[in-house]
Structure 1
Amino acid sequence: MTFRVVHYINQFFAGIGGEEKAGEVLPELRQGVVGPGAALAAELKGQAEVVGTIICGDGYFAEHMEEATAKILELLNSCKPDILIAGPAFNAGRYGTACGAVCDAAAKQLGIPTVTGMYKENPGVDMYRKNTFIVSTADNARGIKEAVPTMAKLALKLLKKETVGLGPEEGYLERGVRRNYFLEETGAQRAAAMLAKKLRGEPFVTEYPMPVFDRVEPNPAVKDLKNATIALVTSGGICPKGNPDHIEASSATKYGEYDISSFAALSEADSETAHGGYDPTYANKEPNRVLPVDVLRDMEKEGVFKKLYDKYYTTVGNGTPVANAKRFGAEIGQKLKKDGVSAVILTST
């Protein structure tokens, strides 16, 4: 018996276009393989066939999630699939979210197994890891040669109803699902053995890993506010009209630096938001709601502080990997420190 596979990809991997087409490509079904589906089909080794490929633009899916999901499920169901494989999405935030949402809906509404692939910091991981198998991938498409074989192998196991091992063994990210099974050694014996290894400095693997949180100690308050230079930084995406540096609406890879030395306030005539994670209507109409240049200019005139820094820095926090955010912060911080800025007001959305 040959299993029936449907593959879900975005407009980029379908060869339709990049960001400029992300909002224009509505859900569509093509027969057979498209783009990376060829590599997937090869790894399935004749045991399963990619009978169709569903394509949807990342922007369209993000802006019309309910309608897009319903249409994709309709197309998917018409193929009578045994499994859905989505992506891999690597670290593309909107693509990862779409892959996760489609897999989640397919599993719940059609009752079929699903597999996708993402980088560990993709926002889709935390959103959907409990509802689908997410294979761990590199952060960009260069890792496709490693991702696809792992996804195919896991998919075949699910199709054959074979026992799926632990995440590190099978290559998928931990799902937070605990399954009981019997071991020869008791918990006390395993704990003692683990402790002995730890005391001897030998490698060991905990059975219950604890989350690690990065803590940033707050700096002390500004002592002399009246002589302070205050800077504005935002992750709310406010930028000059037209988004001249093309800051991404999600999973930002860059930040912008813009001059406000001549501005008493921002307005819809000169500013907008690039952020794709909230309704931009009110921010575009009144950008000072996100980046309060107007209020700080008033405080500057009143002598609450000495000067509003001549530039502001902006990026988009929506789905942006922690590694990128740390890099942005370090670079911006160095620039502000070099220019003698006393304190920063960081706004979000």
Structure 2
Amino acid sequence: MGKTDGVGSGHGERMRVVHYINQFFAGIGGEDKASTPPASREGAVGPGRKLAAALAAEGHELVATVYCGDDYAASARNAAAEILALAKEAGAELLVAGPAFGSGRYGIACARVAAAASAAGIPALAAMDPSNPGLPEVAPAIAVNSGEAARHMAEALTRMAAAAAVLARGGTPGEAEGVISGAPAGARRNTVSPHTAAERGVLLALLRLAGGKQTEIKLPDFGHVAPAAPIADPREALVAILTEGALVPSGNPDRLESARAKHWFRYPLTGRDTMAAGEFQSVHGGFSTVAANADPNRLLPLDVAREMEASGEIRALHPEYLVTAGNGTAVGDATHFGVEWAEPARVAGQRLRRSWSGPGSRPRCW
């Protein structure tokens, strides 16, 4: 079948499918390549290979992969149009995007690309977790449940292929294909207001001053943790340093997760006055680690802490540092980590812990 003008051809026939993924799944790189502009490759790339096999079993061909960096897709005004143009150049008769799982920028990009394709007359779907902030932007395309993380990749690709096959027949995928029926409870929906944000903000402030409780966005209740009493004299304190910036020995020997961490680790500091480049690396998946890897003290400032110890500003440093990845960490897991860290500190008579938070979008451990 030759290329078309981008509008879906006869449903039920062998269709030309174009797959959209981000720079990570395209094998271009991580956060350091998040500004990559849209580009395309012939055939399947990365997870698209398994998707291509599943589509072939349904009688369809994955003809091209279009990819784009998450930052570019989220910030460039015409990113979705540029991606759609590449899909049309490849002769797209059906477009699938993702799976994005719980990744916010990726999910929003998938949603916008699928929505643009659907609006242009190309059947389209995007796969993501129901909690993904991109979900409300999918319409008029459909969204398929991918699960929250890449461990669900195989099931997500199977559902995507099944839903694509239904679309190709001119049908409407449903629950059997994993279609997400709507936005999750509590999801925020965009609406058009006749008043500017400044006007609404002033009005809400006046209402609050008058004793009202009105709000445009109801925040979740994560409970309250009472802060510990201040340290009377830091010069008598045994201090532990810790980070959610995923700073681990080079090679990540214990395989700390880069996102949604379920583990934390401790590593020795005895005999070390600095975090030497080349000996440590950050495996955090939520920010560019280039600067941290060039000088790990930027993430965990052992050099300064040793100076404070030597000058008597603190009594001593704990001989280990503690680390996890605070990138999309579940609140329950973060709470569990805190309990595990606090009890040994209490038993050891530790009086102060100093934590350094990375610049990722979702640190929750502290």
Matching residue within 94, 97, 107 for 2:115: 107
Matching residue within 268, 292, 301 for 2:301: 292
Matching residue within 331, 334, 343 for 2:340: 331
Q: Counterpart in 2 of 1:35?
A: 50
TM-score, structure 2 as length reference? 0.61
> Is the contact made by 1:88 and 1:118 (CA closer than 8 Å) also made in structure 2?
yes
Q: Which runs of 5+ in 2 are unaligned?
A: 1-9, 192-215, 359-366
| 1:103-252 aligned within 5 A | 103-105=111-113, 107-108=115-116, 111-112=119-120, 114-120=124-130, 125-126=132-133, 128-132=134-138, 133-139=142-148, 141=151, 145=155, 148-149=158-159, 170-174=180-184, 176-177=188-189, 211-224=219-232, 225-252=234-261
**CA deviation after TM superposition for structure 1 residue 293, in Å:** 1.5
Letter of the structure 2 residue corresponding to residue 84 of structure 1: L
**CA deviation after TM superposition for structure 1 residue 330, in Å:** 3.6
| Structure 1 pair 281–150 and aligned structure 2 pair: CA distance change class (3 A) | closer
Q: Counterpart in 1 of 2:275?
A: 266
> Is the contact made by 1:100 and 1:116 (CA closer than 8 Å) also made in structure 2?
no
Q: Tell me the matched-pair count.
A: 299
> Is the contact made by 1:241 and 1:271 (CA closer than 8 Å) also made in structure 2?
yes
In 2, the alpha carbon distance for the partners of 1:143 and 1:285 equals: 33
| Structure 1 pair 238–217 and aligned structure 2 pair: CA distance change class (3 A) | same
**CA deviation after TM superposition for structure 1 residue 287, in Å:** 2.0
In 1, the alpha carbon distance for the partners of 2:340 and 2:40 equals: 40
TM-score, structure 1 as length reference? 0.63
Matching residue within 79, 93, 96 for 1:85: 96
| 1:269-284 aligned within 5 A | 269-284=278-293
Q: Which runs of 5+ in 1 are unaligned?
A: 180-207
Letter of the structure 2 residue corresponding to residue 273 of structure 1: S
Letter of the structure 2 residue corresponding to residue 6 of structure 1: V
| Structure 1 pair 318–309 and aligned structure 2 pair: CA distance change class (3 A) | same
**CA deviation after TM superposition for structure 1 residue 244, in Å:** 2.8
Q: Counterpart in 1 of 2:201?
A: none
